[in-house]
Structure 1
Amino acid sequence: MKPLTKQLKEKQEANETIFVPYIMAGAQGLEQLADEIHLLTEAGASAIELGIPFSDPVADGPVIQAAGLRALENKVTLRKIIKQLKQVKTPTPLVIMTYFNPIFSYGLEAFVQDLAETNVLGLIIPDLPYEHQERLAPFLKDSDISLIPLVALTTPKERIPELVEAGDGFIYAVAVNGVTGIGRNYEETVDEHLAYIQQVSNKPVLAGFGVSSREHVDRFRKSCAGVIVGSKIVQLLSEGKHSEVKAFIEAAVRN
């Protein structure tokens, strides 16, 4: 069992709410990244998802797209982010969310080797289909890094057990059809969908996309192990509302 899976399963078995905030690395300047990680750690984040700015972010809504553009304007690159992460000391596991192209350009083997010098324990790659994971999997095999699968509302039910069995760390359950963003309306069937994924998974299932309130957290905790919150956190950080970020996370993880 890889470290990220172990740490999050321990929280799940203790009936703790798993809360993973997402931030866009470098949106406020790369020099702010360590302080943002420490803020989220102090607030009680179970893990922290770090977005990598990319020119064609097909899964990202307007808030995260805007943050990515700010990071790109700041000349932030994957290589610069990893260099910065090597200097960041945190007990909280980090998860990189990136598209495949920046990793490919970096060099797959070099990318995984460099991550070994950071606290990155997970990878989310939305545009790397399950059937093509063998391009990266050999480099991850002997590492501590989990490749986290995404399961969509449109994923055929018979395919879900295969995805969750092959995945590691946690299962990212996409709770809406479409891109990320605040103010999404959830279908009534999403709770049944999440409960089924958790039923067939021996790893924690986390609901993401559009989660932006304590009510959303409370709702999804009835069906799965926790949540991923992106646009809400990114928006508050862009407005300098650090105390609101901390208060939101603290309230969400409080059982």
Structure 2
Amino acid sequence: MNAIETKDLKISYGNHLVIKGINLEIPKNCIFALMGPSGCGKSTLLRSFNRLLDLNPEAKVEGEVRIFGRNIYSQDVDPREVRRQVGMVFQYPNPFPHLTIYENVAIGPKMNGMAKGKDLDKLVEWALRKAALWDEVKNRLNDYPSNLSGGQRQRLVIARALAMQPSILLMDEPTANIDPVGTAKIEELLFELKKEYTIVLVTHSPSQAARVSDYVAFLYMGKLIEVGPTRKVFENPEHELTEKYVTGALG
């Protein structure tokens, strides 16, 4: 069974059709990159995988998105449960500035009654270790995120998502606004995380997709142009548009 599957997925904002009938299969425990030029629908597609589009009154979703076989747009599905199972990391590192490092990681499990007391402490440490941040912050858990570097803040947000113990992590250009050192650390972290999670990564960079992903999908103007194992798509693309994009001829 695939982690994510879409069937004739169409997404529109008002009268504007953004995603045009996409059929996609994303296997478990891999890094799956969505790539394509700006405005092609990558982030919209990503947000459909955990029903974040519900928060936009203009957005309309047709077709199916299946998470481990279950259509998450069925009427009997609670969007909050979907978002617990499918975590999200955004382009801009967005820890809660008024909360400490510890509180940023603890807030989700606390609000959802997942842990308290020493169990919560253990969960926070576990999530920070998973996000490769524990050794850097273990003596400053009562400090605030503003005192962290951009890369550290992004790993803190990843820890916050992991603390909810999801099965899938969605990442919308998570390294776009951090320096090369921070980018390298997060890319290294992705290789570790895919052992236990399915990661769907939106990237503006074909070279990043080539470096880190196992599978890649190329979107253009809301359509799925090509999908397959990363090496094959980059070394032997089937579509002329894909070839232009991966060689830099199409921005």
Higher helix proportion: 1
What range describes the TM-score normalised by the shorter chain of this pair? 0.3 to 0.5
TM-score by length of 2: 0.38
